[in-house]
């Protein structure tokens, strides 16, 4: 089915983002992801990822997460992915529902994206503790499943894993 956010579903993928073609489409978590951090109670969550394009040298994305048991919507983020021409440099431009906006940059190696936050900004009344650094890895596994891990550092904690989840293409 054509993605409702992609008005020109038939348009060809722009060559500038061709190396990211393997991300395109909708991914549903395989089983609930695991969330943790030294200062919070461990939790389980489900998440759907959508990656689409409209022919621009950009991939559009939306990630929607829910509590695994209560099914309540939790974290949401959306944004754009760009690649530096003729290199494997990748940039994610991200807005999060918590009031955080960020730029993550990194590298594409085979079918793995390794990203680090380069710039973070937040609304003036964002909940504390504030995130100071984010590291994220997306990896397409040989079995066709996609894995995402996210680590973060806050005002009070050094860089520590927050999320780990595996998705299958839906
Ligand atoms: C807590 C950041 C993604 C669920 C937190 C906290 C921060 C944070 C700063 C507070 C930690 C503390 O109190 O010391 C982020 C960032 C994310 C992200 C930067 C993405 C890059 C997610 C996702 C979920 C999630 C995808 C999935 C449901 C939670 C939950 C808590 C939490 C349940 C504990 C309760 C709460 O403080 O709301 N997160 N988070 N987070 N996060 Fe995330």
Judge whether 1 lies within some domain: no
CA–CA gap between residue 115 and residue 104 (Å, rounded): 6
> Which atom number of ligand 1 is nearest to the Cα of residue 74?
28
Q: What domain count does the chain have?
A: 1
- Tens of pLDDT along 108-163? 999 999 999 999 999 999 999 999 999 999 999 999 999 999 999 999 999 999 99
What's the angle, vertex CA 93, arms to CA 58 and CA 133, rounded to 5?
A: 145
Take atom 25 of ligand 1 and give the residue whose Cα is closest. Answer: 75
Take atom 8 of ligand 1 and give the residue whose Cα is closest. Answer: 131
Find the residues whose C-beta lies inside 6 A of ligand 1.
Answer: 35, 37, 39-40, 43, 45, 65, 74-75, 129, 131, 134, 150, 152, 154, 162-163
CA distances from 88 to 25, 56, 164 (A): 21, 18, 24
Mean pLDDT to the nearest integer, 43-68? 98
Mean pLDDT to the nearest integer, 21-37? 97
Judge whether 3 lies within some domain: no
CATH code of 101's domain:
2.40.128.20
> Residue 62: which domain range?
15-169
CA 125 to chain centre: 24
CA–CA gap between residue 26 and residue 1 (Å, rounded): 10
Judge whether 8 lies within some domain: no
Judge whether 5 lies within some domain: no
With a cut of 90, say whether residue 1 has pLDDT above it. Answer: no
ipTM of the prediction greater than 0.95, yes or no: yes
């Amino acid at each position: 089915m054509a993605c409702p956010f992609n008005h020109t579903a038939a348009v060809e993928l722009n060559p500038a983002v061709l190396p990211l073609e393997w991300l395109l489409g909708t991914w549903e978590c395989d089983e609930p992801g695991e969330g943790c951090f030294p200062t919070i109670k461990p939790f389980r969550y489900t998440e759907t990822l959508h990656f689409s394009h409209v022919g621009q040298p950009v991939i559009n994305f939306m990630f929607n997460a829910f509590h695994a048991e209560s099914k309540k919507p939790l974290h949401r983020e959306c944004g754009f992915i760009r690649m530096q021409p003729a290199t494997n440099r990748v940039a994610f431009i991200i807005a999060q529902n918590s009031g955080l906006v960020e730029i993550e940059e990194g590298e594409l190696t085979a079918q793995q994206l390794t990203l680090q936050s380069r710039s973070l900004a937040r609304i003036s009344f964002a909940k504390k503790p504030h995130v100071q650094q984010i590291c994220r890895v997306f990896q397409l596994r040989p079995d066709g499943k996609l894995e995402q891990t996210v680590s973060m550092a806050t005002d009070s904690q050094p860089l520590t894993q927050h999320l780990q989840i595996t998705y299958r293409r839906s």
